[in-house]
Amino acid sequence: MQFDHLVVGGTELDAARAHIEDALGVAMQPGGTHAVFQTHNALMGLEDGLYLEAIAPNPAVAAPTRPRWYDLDRFTGPARLSNWACSVKDMARALPEMPEGAGAPVDVHRGDLHWQMAVSDDGTTPFDNLWPALICWPEGVHPARALAPTGVRLKRFTLIHPDALTLEVALGAHLRDDRVAVEQGPAPAMQAEFATPHGDRTL
């Protein structure tokens, strides 16, 4: 797996986008709408080929026929950092090695951009949604390449979980990234620290 992007979820896209822009002091770019899961998003390019995504259910279309990804159907409260994604080159090969509940491949598109995502039947990921959603981009395609430079760089991404050791061991078998840390805590949570043109900021 390779770190792909961070996700800020919200009940409304404007709230998710504002949460990122207020925290980091940098404007996001328009994204688009997603078939299958009936969501829409906005994006921010980060250094090192990563990006930030604000996402919410799309009220302009009918509800999907299956649970939305990123557990958005059960999302409540203020917009916040809620999920993350890692890319794999071969979804069929990667999924059998993942923890139970990592999902099954779903073909998705946003405009002309097509990709494959692993999504479980209830829209969640293992370890109370702290396990990364798996994404497989077509060869040579990645949305971050089309995003304007922002001067924002991810410094550290911390996953907090009551069973931190099990999560850390499971992640370590698939991901090597010094920016990712796992810590013990009373409840599942995540935190991302960034270097920005305005100094260090946190989501």
> Among all chains, which residue has been given the structure tokens 């959603």?
133
| CB distance 101 to 126 below 8 Å | yes
Residue ranges of the domains in the chain? 2-146, 153-202
Q: Check: CB of residue 10 under 8 Å from CB of residue 56.
A: yes
The secondary element (H helix, E strand) that includes residue 21 is helix 13-24
d(CA 65, CA 18) in angstroms, rounded, equals 29
**Which pLDDT tens digit goes with each residue over 110-150?**
888 889 999 999 999 999 999 999 999 998 889 899 999 99
Query: Which residue carries 């981009």 as its tokens?
Result: 137
Q: Which residue has the tokens 């409840």?
A: 187
Query: Which of 138, 155, 177, 143 lies closest to 51 in space, CA to CA?
Result: 143
Could you tell me the pTM of the whole model? 0.95
C-alpha to C-alpha distance for 147 and 199, rounded to whole angstroms: 21
Give the C-alpha separation, 65 to 69, whole Å: 12
> What is residue 41's predicted lDDT score, i.e. its pLDDT?
97
Mean pLDDT of 176-195: 97
Euclidean distance between CA atoms 194 and 24, whole angstroms: 8
In DSSP notation, 46-94 reads -GGG-EEEEEEE-TTSPPPSSPPGGGGGG--SS-EEEEEEEE-S-HHHH
Specify the CATH class of 2-146 in words.
Answer: alpha beta
Q: In this predicted model, what pLDDT tens digit does every residue of 77-123 receive, in sequence order? A: 999 999 999 999 999 999 999 999 999 999 988 888 889 999 999 99
